[in-house]
């Protein structure tokens, strides 16, 4: 404080001394009128006085500027606080910054829908992430959150290689879960349910999103995956008889779908999963009773569905490439690898999807169902759907 005061006083003294000397110089000189000096000598002295006055004015401005700077810096010094002493210690592992939070003023035409990728020990998660980043139209509207269970080092390195393009969070509890003796071989299904509960809690409780698209690390997406969910989101919010939007058709084998109607969507009473959109309000309902295992089968129970439907496409917008898993490839080899993935872009956001509202859908769809000819289940087992045309079992 003493040093600052001395500097201010020095500047003020310099200012006063300069002006005193200038006044003394001007007063000590004889009058410089043209009558006291003749011709050229008078003009020369007059020019000198003018130059001196100009120099004095310039120096005056410089000194004033110097005083202003001294004053400004003295104020800044007065506001500065000493930096706290940091205690030595090992650096902390910082979690990735949370994605942006949706606010109430979010534009309904461009909703922010985070994509939650559930990962474990598949380093092939790269295939999933590459397609998500390739087809994602906007990083702001579709932030990617990868939630990793299992603690698998190679998978963690793959996820980390994407840098700021994804947010990498880790399920902290990797312990085994006590299970009934007859369920020991199902330990993996218990861990999956635990991971889902934790990851969805992060999305809706920590990051406070109002909706989320959930995929797993062995899913590949179609080119219009994001377009589909963006278009269906307003419908899900507006129609209380819907509780999810899914990218998956459980009957989506190539020989059983009409690829020429890739824009066609349905309501279904079956929970498809495998790339699905839910609202935060649904998680408020499900979280308190979330099951310890077999979460997807639990979702299909009437107690959870409560008469509500999901939207699903004629042609799937996801396909699975993950033969390795808790089911040991049983369902993959028999069924999952034959699902047809849509390969052309449908501009869903420019289509009228109001036909999917409950009253309108039932008014148009139910007559079509009951007008279709009945067929026996045996006739369907040969996957001759194209030859049979529209039908009902």
273 in a domain, yes or no?
A: yes
Q: Residue 75, exposed/middle/buried by CB under 10 A (0-12, 13-18, 19+)? A: exposed
- The angle formed by the CA atoms of residues 284, 109 and 165, to the nearest 5 degrees, is 75
The answer to the question of residue 88 being in a domain is: no
What does the angle CA 291 – CA 294 – CA 300 come to, to the nearest 5 degrees? 85
Whether 193 and 75 share a structural domain: no
* Domain presence at residue 92: no
Q: Residues 258, 370, 272, 332: what is their CA dihedral angle, to the nearest 10 degrees?
A: -60
Residue 148's CATH number: 3.90.550.10
In this prediction, the residues of the chain whose per-residue pLDDT falls under 70 are: 1-109, 323-330, 380-389, 393
Q: Is there a domain that residue 104 lies in?
A: no
Tell me, what's the pLDDT at 9?
53
Q: Which of 57, 79, 101 is the last residue of a domain?
A: 79
Closest CA to 120 of 330, 391, 322: 322
Are residue 66 and residue 40 in the same domain, yes or no? yes
Give a yes or no: residue 361 inside a domain.
yes
The angle at the Cα of 19, spanning 18 to 21, to the nearest 5 degrees, equals 65
Residue 296 known to be catalytic: yes
Domain identity same for 345 and 383: no
Are residues 155 and 55 both part of a single domain? no
Domain count for the chain, please give it.
Answer: 3
Q: Distance between CA atoms of 331 and 335, rounded to whole angstroms?
A: 6
Q: And the tokens for 319?
A: 């396909």
Q: Which domain holds residue 64?
A: 2-79
Report the distance separating Cα 313 and Cα 145, nearest Å. Answer: 25
Question: Are 146 and 39 in a shared domain?
Answer: no
Residue found under tokens 């089911």? 327
3-state secondary structure of 312: strand
Of 59, 79, 99, the last residue of a domain is: 79
Question: What one-character-per-residue DSSP string does 81-118 give?
Answer: -PPPPPPP-PPP-PPPPPPPPPPTT--TTS----EEEE
Q: Is residue 379 part of a domain?
A: yes
Q: State whether 327 and 365 are in the same domain.
A: no
Q: What is the pLDDT of residue 334?
A: 80
Please tell me whether residues 190 and 305 are part of one structural domain: yes
Q: Does the residue 60 lie in any domain?
A: yes
The last residue of one of the domains, among 63, 79, 95, is 79
Give the active site residue among 107, 296, 297, 333: 296
Whether residues 266 and 220 fall in one domain: yes
Residue 91 lies in a domain: no
Contact at 8 Å (CB) between 100 and 220? no
Same domain, 175 and 224: yes
């Amino acid at each position: 404080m003493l040093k600052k005061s001395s500097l201010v006083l020095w500047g003020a003294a310099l200012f006063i001394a300069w002006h005193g000397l200038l006044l003394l110089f001007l007063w000590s000189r004889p009058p410089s009128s043209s009558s006291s000096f003749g011709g050229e000598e008078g003009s020369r002295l007059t020019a000198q006085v003018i130059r001196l006055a100009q120099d004095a004015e310039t120096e005056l401005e410089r000194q004033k500027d110097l005083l202003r700077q001294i004053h400004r810096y003295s104020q800044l010094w007065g506001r500065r606080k000493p930096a706290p002493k940091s205690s030595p210690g090992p650096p902390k592992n910082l979690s990735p910054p949370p994605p942006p939070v949706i606010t109430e003023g979010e534009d309904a035409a461009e909703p922010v829908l985070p994509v939650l990728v559930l990962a474990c020990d598949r380093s092939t998660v790269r295939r999933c992430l590459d397609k998500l980043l390739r087809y994602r139209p906007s990083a702001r509207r579709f932030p990617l959150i990868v939630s990793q269970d299992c603690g698998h080092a190679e998978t963690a390195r793959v996820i980390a290689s994407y840098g700021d393009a994804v947010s990498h969070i880790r399920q902290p509890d990797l312990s085994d879960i006590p299970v009934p003796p007859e369920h020991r071989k199902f330990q993996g299904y218990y861990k999956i349910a635990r991971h889902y509960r934790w990851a969805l809690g992060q999305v809706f409780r920590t990051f406070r999103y109002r909706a989320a698209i959930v995929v797993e690390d062995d899913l590949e997406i179609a080119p219009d995956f994001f377009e589909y969910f963006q278009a269906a989101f307003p419908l899900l919010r507006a129609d209380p008889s819907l509780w999810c939007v899914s990218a998956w058709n459980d009957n989506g084998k190539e020989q059983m779908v009409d690829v020429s109607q890739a824009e066609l969507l349905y309501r279904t009473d079956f929970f498809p999963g495998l790339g699905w959109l839910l609202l935060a309000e649904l998680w408020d309902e499900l979280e308190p009773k979330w099951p310890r295992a077999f979460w997807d089968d639990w979702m299909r129970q009437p107690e959870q569905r409560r008469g509500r439907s999901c939207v699903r496409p004629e042609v799937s917008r996801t396909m699975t490439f993950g033969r390795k898993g808790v089911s040991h490839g049983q369902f993959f080899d028999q069924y999952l690898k034959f699902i047809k993935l849509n390969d052309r872009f449908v501009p869903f956001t420019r289509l009228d999807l109001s036909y999917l509202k409950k009253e309108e859908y039932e008014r148009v769809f139910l007559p079509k169902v009951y007008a279709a000819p009945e067929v026996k289940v045996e006739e369907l087992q040969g996957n001759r759907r194209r030859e049979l045309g529209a039908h009902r079992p």
